Chain A
Amino acid sequence: MLILTRKKNESIIINNDIEITILESDDGKVKIGIDAPKSVKIHRKEVFDAIIEENKQAASSKRSAENLKNLIPKK
């Protein structure tokens, strides 16, 4: 992992078009500003991990139609 030290209001540039700025830091928290093209997906890591975890469970779900029939809403 590349480690850089930055002060408040200093930033780093990734790939020419992504700028990450340190806006605030105190008490163990860091506020970060990200300027990136719209097409760049940005997620908090825990959100990203949660999606992958849900997808992995979904992909390994019991696939039988028999099981699924029990899930159908009864109107």
Chain B
Amino acid sequence: MKIVTDYLGEVEYTKEDIISFPDGIYGFPDSREYLLLGEMTTEFPFVWLQSTTEETLSFILTNPFLFVEKYDFNLDDDIIAKLKLEKVEDVQVFTTVIVKENIKESSINLKSPIVINRNEMIASQVVLAEDYPFKHFIFQKGTDEPC
């Protein structure tokens, strides 16, 4: 199967690459299947979450642990059951990134991360009970460097 993206061009994928979001992503209930495109490296810690059904729908995801020192949360039992999580090694946590024209206004959403079971390829956007902000600015105030 093929999909055309505006950032990586044409991408080929197979059924096995599809990550299912049984509840969709908040605000986008019609897309239930996504691909993780790109490769997360230390030089470039971003991947794209691309809808397979809506070519124009994608999100930039990053590894939140690179941007915040302490990011700790518990997953509710119902989420664990929904994601069929058995081992902690299967869990991958991403946060969505808002990239602004003025790069210093860019932020990541720590309150509702995307949690993926890489073994079962099931994912969900969870809303944490813990007190994390929807907008965590990547750049600290008054500095030119990402924190």
Q: How many interface residues does chain B have, given as a range?
A: 35 or more
Label chain B's interface by main secondary structure.
loop
A55 and B25 in contact (CB under 8 A), knowing A71-B106, A73-B147, A74-B145?
yes
Q: Does A14 contact B (CB under 8 A)?
A: no
Contact of A68 among B28, B46, B58, B96 (CB under 8 A): B46
A51 and B127 in contact (CB under 8 A), knowing A65-B7, A71-B99?
yes
Whether A58 lies near B60 (C-beta < 8 A) is: yes
- Least CB separation from B25: chain A residue: A55
Whether B7 lies near A63 (C-beta < 8 A) is: yes
Q: Does B12 contact A (CB under 8 A)?
A: no
Whether A72 lies near B43 (C-beta < 8 A) is: yes
Q: Complex: how many Å from CA A63 to CA B112?
A: 20
Q: Does A38 contact B (CB under 8 A)?
A: yes
Q: Complex: how many Å from CA A52 to CA B26?
A: 5
Q: How many interface residues does chain A have, given as a range?
A: 20 to 34
Q: Complex: how many Å from CA A74 to CA B143?
A: 12
Whether A73 lies near B60 (C-beta < 8 A) is: no
Whether B7 lies near A52 (C-beta < 8 A) is: no
Cβ proximity bits B104-147 to A, threshold 8 Å, 1 near / 0 not: 00100101100000000000010100000011001000000111
Whether B28 lies near A70 (C-beta < 8 A) is: no
- Least CB separation from B112: chain A residue: A51
Q: Complex: how many Å from CA A43 to CA B112?
A: 12
Whether B127 lies near A54 (C-beta < 8 A) is: no
- Least CB separation from A61: chain B residue: B99
Chosen A-B contacts, 25 in total, with CB atoms closer than 8 Å, are A38-B76, A39-B78, A39-B82, A41-B23, A41-B127, A48-B26, A51-B27, A51-B109, A51-B111, A51-B134, A52-B27, A55-B25, A55-B27, A55-B109, A58-B98, A61-B59, A61-B100, A62-B100, A63-B60, A65-B7, A68-B60, A71-B62, A72-B43, A72-B44, A73-B66
